[in-house]
Structure 1
Amino acid sequence: MAYNYFDKLDSVAQGRYSTKLVLINSDECPYKFPAGVWKNNPSCWPDLQFGDVYSNLIDSPGIFTRASMKSYKSLDAHNYFQSGWVQTVYSYKPATSAYTILKADVRPSQRLNEEPHHPWVALSGDGSVAVAHCNCMAGLAESCSHIAALLFKVEAAVRLGYTTKLCTELPCKWNADFVKKLYINKAKKVKVRHLSSTQQEQQTLLQTLHACNSKPVVLSTFDNFSDKFHWQKTVSSDPIVPQCLRSLYKAEYADFTKIDLSRKCSEINDSYSMNKETIMYIYDVTQKQSSSLTWHEQRIGRITSSVVYSVLHTDFNNPAPSLLKTLCNPSSKSLDHVPAIHWGFLISKETPFIGASADSVASCSCHGNRVIEVKCPFSHKESTLQEYVKDPSSCIVANGREVKTTHKYYYQIQLHMYVHDVNLCDLVIYTSKVTAIFYILRNDVFIKDMITKLKDFHIRHVMTELLTRQLENKIKQVPLRNDKLYCYCRSKDDGKENMIGCDNPQCKTQWYHLKCLKMKRIPKGQWLCKDCKNIPVTSS
């Protein structure tokens, strides 16, 4: 496999590939791993089950559907495995990752002299598939026949017991290439005599077939019998997941005037739409795996419930660059450390640039559908409700019965109800000493004003950044130090701490942890660190 595979990809493909590496916490492309680190030892493989293979192939955008998986043994991928086109499987577990990476060469079935394909998959300890990739045309979409063939071979090894220590004490013969070079002798020419049938014999045969209770498909090719063959209903296929909003970028937009760029942003915002089937398909795909590539990609460029408060409380004329970076750039944060995350990402049909991920959705005969939001205040994990209410940062008013309409939780909950189109939310406040439930009703006046402001902010700033990437390119022009240490604590960015960037391009540190600054949220407008406050800011 080419060492510089990543460098040959276009910018959109590089973004998707980089997101896969971030999800498995890998600092290096698997195609760049040294040959000496790969092991031919099935006992090192995680216990991949058929359910894991099924979930990955169905939930990932690609050619596999629920209908096709019912007869998976007839798929090209399974035939690749049975025919021996999947070569030796090698495994490697990087020191920085909790995932085991498996790779194998898959030879083309019809063109044996061509270069084989090189799929790889990352499996967690319990056997679930985190991400997968192949260098074929369809490999960037996480699902192709070569990836599936590799998964089928590993699943068969686990099912047949070849990954246990008892079996692996023997020489690893099963994992070897079991397609050997065949020497084929040509058969002798055989003289075949073809007897032609008469017109009467043909009609007799067709009439006999027509009299059968079933409908032989061969009759559909004859004029006198084809009228009985027609589609009773159309076969629906899974919707196609739309491209990430970062794909709207074009370098030529950077040369537009401010008026032309504003007009272009409005045109795209007004014309962009998604049908209900696509929205629900994205919701179904993302609710089963919080680390899904689709979950991360579809959030890029959309205002979500987790940032709505920050958006509405920043300076609309000069928003914080760190806020735009959060909205428009791929997230480097993994959610695997939060075991309760199983929700899907739901996009608003009326406003497709807004989305939300509720903790849960419930329904009852008296209140109908409603969303559930669970909050576990870490600073009050040992507090009672009365102690929590006394904190000025608490979301509960002093009487302990209502939620503050000025609190960020209230903004988040109202956006949840707007996206899910419900009228009620159960807010659960949980500590080790109390579990309190507050019922919050939908506030249509509040929502209308909020959505109007969010639309204006998205067109003026988010869409502008998506089209031009001015802020992203500006940040890239500032060289980072080789050790990549940030903040006053001089630590690396592990993706788990919220950070704010100093708006002075010449700042030596650039990024600071909110926790180290003792700040709870990103301030409005420009922000300068204490070292740069007394230094004039020059534009880069």
Structure 2
Amino acid sequence: MADKYKQWSVQRLKCELAQRGAACGGRKINLIERLESYDRNKNFREDPIIIPEPLDVFWPITGFQQLRPEHRKSMPQLTYHQIEQYFLYRMAEDKQMTSDLKALEKGKDLLNGERIFACSMSSDDAHIYLSGIVGAAMKQKLSYNFKIGIDKRTGDPLNSHCECPAGKGPHGTCKHVAAVFLMVESFVEKGNLAVRKGCTDNLQSFHVPKKIYDGKPLAADRIPWKRKHTDEMLEDPRKDKYMKFSSGYSSYIYNCMVNFCSQSSTNISLRYLTPSTSLQVASRDHDYLQQPITEHLVDKAVAVSPKDAKDIEKSTRMQAKSKTWFDERKWRITASRFGDIVKMTCRRDTRKLCCSIYQPKSIITYPIIHGRQHESRAISMFEELTHFKVKKCGLFVSVKYPFLGATPDGLVENDAIVEVKCPYGGRDVDIKPGKKFPFLVESNGKITLKSSHKYYDQIQGQLYISGRKLCYFIVYTFCDILILKLEYDEEYCVFSLLPKLEIFYKKHFRPYVASCL
């Protein structure tokens, strides 16, 4: 190689060095030595790292059928928890967290906007394959093809691919894939197949009348016209002496109108000329009552009969995936907040506490995500160790204290509940009382739950409201599991916990909810 470089001109040597990113100064012999050194050391660069292409997942080409209601029986159970887990963690060996939850929110918007144009299904012995078209969010004429693979036995999402830039497979997590997963979840659970129908799939509608306005009547000058009206167009034709009435005469006309409507149950347009009063203002007109009207409405809204309580529990067993679960919890104090109320001091801002109960913010943190992800695993290990079967449950509502509610993590037989805790700080250590597990204490050589911790108030409240006598308290980490049997403490509940909750409800929470009406 040295003889080769000796035959080169100085200009050619400098060009070669420049291409390799080396200095080009010096005499010819220096240039040759520099090139020889670069040849020996491979241009002083390490071998390039060749990134392999993603695993080529098998996608069937034939055998697809349009997804129809009768396919619901052959679809596995796919839950929102499984979808969230798929979008939360990249399905790779490093288990790197992607927290791609915004795609799920945008996918809901696509689903509600009927942007899934087509969906077909194929299956083999172990997998369910879905293929179809999803429209772009911002462009009407742009759409993307998607492919999805689901485990036929468990319903776990396995693979996904979309033609959009964010959905490259084999584990794409774009909003278009999210919309399809959410559609499948709704289809399996409720039978709702939210695929946009073609124009020939719907009945002709040219003879259907336009939607009739069904709001309350408006005065002509309050109608939101598109054209701007001048004062001349809305000129009042009445004479001046008829346009101005005394306040007493106006009140007389208003009272006559109200009395006539209330006695005859007749609705006349004249009553809409007077703006309606707010509920808060109306409640001040009846200050002679034992409690404000708004608070009476709150009590009436939360009141339940024994049959109503059973129906609520049965209809909310999907918990966070059930709209009814959120609706029934809204005006009630749930067991997870019992500890905050019982431990409340005079320095606590009660209005902020009531706001956090009535309008809880959606907070996504690593401890919360960790608890959601591993709760099912903890219950599975509990079933393996104890040979008990844990059943799902919904929101329990107390008949005697209807403003209280509780949702245990599960039920065991007819007299026990299950409550699971997966502490994020102690996920990699053995379970023992200390900094990682501040809710545990060692007593008489045995580990138990601190009676002063808010978890104790939560569990005692759950036992009282559900009418059960025993709680299996499960603490789960990656390397250990602890199962404690906690019995119902009737004396503590009746003489301490419930009176404090009732006082808080009547003195703080009920007035706050009433002020939001």
**Common fold, TM-score beyond 0.5?**
no
TM-score calculated relative to the size of structure 1: 0.43
- Which structure has more relative contact order (CA 8 Å, sep 6+)? It is 1
Which protein has the bigger helix share?
2
TM-score normalised to structure 2 length: 0.45
